[in-house]
Amino acid sequence: MADTYTVGDLVAEFLAAIGVTTAFGIASVHNIPMLDAIGRRNTIRFMMARGELGGAHMADGYARASGGLGVIFSSTGPGAANTIGGLIEARFASSPVLHITGQTATKFVDRGLGTVHDANDQLGMMGSVCKSAYRVRAAGQALGVLTRAATDALTPPMGPVSVEIPIDLQRVAIPRPAMLDGFALPIPTPRAPAAAELDELAARVRRARRPMLWLGAGARHAGPAVRRLLDLGFTMVNSLQGRGIVPEDDPRSLGALHGNGMAAVTEFYRGVDLLVVAGARIRGHETNDFALKLPDNIVQIDVDPMANGRTYANQYFVCGDAGLALAGLADRLSGGFTPDPAYLADFAAMKSRARAEFLDSLGVYGGFADQLAKVLPRDAIFARDVTQNNTTWGNRVFPLHDPRQNVYPVGAGIGQGLSLGIGAAAAANGRRTVMMTGDGGFFLNMGELWTAVQEKLDLVVVVMNDRGYGVIKRIQDATAEGRRFFADLQGPDLAGLAALAGIPYHRAEHADGFGPTIARALEHRGLSLVEVDMTKVGEFPAYYPFNQRR
């Protein structure tokens, strides 16, 4: 039996062949043959999540921090359903995540016979939230289906893909496919825009005097081309997901101060005569549901033809890879482009004003970004959950210098940060990882802390503790006449929780102690917990849009 090669062995070898070194999930009656093969081969680190939801978020966080494929194994039926929140977030973030689940035996599938974990239309359920979903229907199909699924996940626009393999097929003996020797996924070559498209794009830029770039996650790989355009006289701003394409301390970059609720920025946009949007959705979440007034003259670059005019109207659209398009544009402009001589000075003055006004609006929390920047290594991964602190200074002004540092809930779901941070820490490869969450989000998936304990991860977990759902309270203030029903939380003593987990604990009670407390935690290599007692630091002030006159 030891020499028998099965579909389960194929799954394990396939993942290793395409470069997977870490996977997440839970062992179950319907995936044991695959996980047994992973364990016997011992080439992939399998990290045991406490729940499939957490495991899916970990795979997503790993994909974002590594730039590779995240892999989550789940059980069937209820177990597969538990991954859905994580896969929805991966879809929001265009993260390449491969979800592999089992299925009841082939002879029982889709017959409603009540076998163990037999959910109604599991494939349809997964297909409704993923980029695509597949079932292996015969042992001989397994390699083809896995290849198709992984290729889908890694082909822009990337996203989560689900594969179900019935339990009986996982055990079927098959010949080892010789093509696994030197195997490579058939990832399609990114579309290069036609010369005529780039010529027209360059012509439009040459007519501008104050051009600006708006960059999203689809331009993460375009840093060299972006820097060339900045050197030619462009300025730039990025979406929350497009952070770090160029280091955000570059004087020509606004970073994520993209103008929502910021008078200095929106006033500046009036003088921008061309906005080049590359690999970005210009999402409603970042524009107050499109109330943000952007320049009228927008040209858009996106690999997805469905992006054309999806949110803000454009004057011209280039369908193609953002890196190739921006490089082609820079090539054409190098022979001659003359921006307004006062443009960069005006931009610098606006940036200084916008940042100062924004930080001033945060009260005692306005210094937290600078405090953290002073103590966190420049290449550290900054993972976050939805919190008042992240929605404001964490997302907007804490400087990021590389796209792989940026891990946060794109869909704005609470409780995802800890698991995203665990996945990111698993991919850190020597970089430090700090994960910031609120108490409400932390308690939602607190059990996953023990995944980090068991895996001996190097991760600083920072809990901004205001004893409740601070974000919800702000919404209640704005929409329910200040009635804060069901928003206060009783939670465990975090010092006692850290002691139970056997990890170092640190506490900050004053605003100026935030950075030094994080620094003490970073002195320890491994998992540690930092509590920021916001009831002592001070109530978080109302922020945009909750600080607007009604």
pLDDT tens, residue by residue, 254-292: 999 998 889 999 999 999 999 999 999 999 989 999 999
Sign of CA dihedral 397, 400, 403, 408: negative
For residues 47 and 6, give the distance between their C-alpha atoms in angstroms, rounded to a whole number.
23
pLDDT value at position 335?
78
Residues 86, 82: Cα–Cα separation, whole Å: 8
Q: What is the pLDDT of residue 116?
A: 67
The two tokens of residue 414 are 């609470």
Domain coordinates of the chain in residue numbers? 7-180, 195-351, 361-537
| Torsion sign (Cα): 307, 308, 310, 315 | positive
Segment 394-416 mean pLDDT = 96
**pLDDT computed for residue 473 by the predictor:** 87
Instruction: Give residue 548's pLDDT.
Output: 77
pLDDT of 502 > 60? The answer is yes
Mean pLDDT for all residues in the chain? 95
pLDDT band for position 411 (50/70/90)? very high
Q: What is the pLDDT of residue 543?
A: 87
- Residues forming beta bridges with residue 163, ordered by sequence position: 100, 134
List pLDDT tens digits, range 195-253.
Answer: 999 999 999 999 999 999 999 999 999 999 999 999 999 999 999 999 999 999 999 99
**From CA 431, how far away is CA 446, in angstroms rounded?**
24
CA distance 63 to 437: 20
Would you state the pLDDT for residue 550?
53
What type of residue sits at position 157?
P
* Number of Cβ within a 10 Å radius of residue 444: 21
Is 3.40.50.1220 the CATH classification of the domain at 195-351? yes
Q: Indicate the pTM of the whole model.
A: 0.96
- Say if residue 2's pLDDT is above 60: no
Q: Is the pLDDT of residue 510 over 50?
A: yes
Adjacent-strand bridge partners of 25: 48, 73
pLDDT tier for residue 117 given thresholds of 50, 70 and 90: confident
The pLDDT value recorded for residue 274 is 98
Tell me the average pLDDT across 307-315: 95
Q: Which amino acid is at 144?
A: G
Q: Which residues on neighbouring strands pair with residue 488, listed in sequence order?
A: 468
pLDDT tens sequence across 333-379? 987 789 999 999 999 999 999 999 999 999 999 999 999 999 999 99
Class of domain 361-537: alpha beta
Query: Residue 260: its pLDDT value, please?
Result: 87
489: left (phi over 0), alpha (psi -120 to 50) or beta: beta
The pLDDT confidence band at residue 1, using thresholds 50, 70 and 90, is very low
Express each pLDDT in 155-208 by its tens digit: 999 999 999 999 999 999 999 999 999 999 999 999 999 999 999 999 999 999
Tokens of 276: 């080049």
Q: What is the pLDDT of residue 549?
A: 63
List the one residue out of 189, 187, 221, 185 whose CA is nearest residue 20. Answer: 185
Phi, psi of 505 (to 5 degrees): -130, 140
Average pLDDT on 313-330 reads 97
Is 397:373 a contact under the CB 8 Å cutoff?
no
Query: What class, spelled out in words, does domain 7-180 have in CATH?
Result: alpha beta
**140 against 477, higher pLDDT:** 140
At 12 the pLDDT is 98
Summarize pLDDT for 425-448 with one digit per residue, the tens. Answer: 999 999 999 999 999 999 999 999
Please give the angle made by the CA atoms of 111, 113 and 115, to the nearest 5 degrees. 115
At residue 71's C-alpha, the angle toward residues 68 and 77, to 5°, is 155
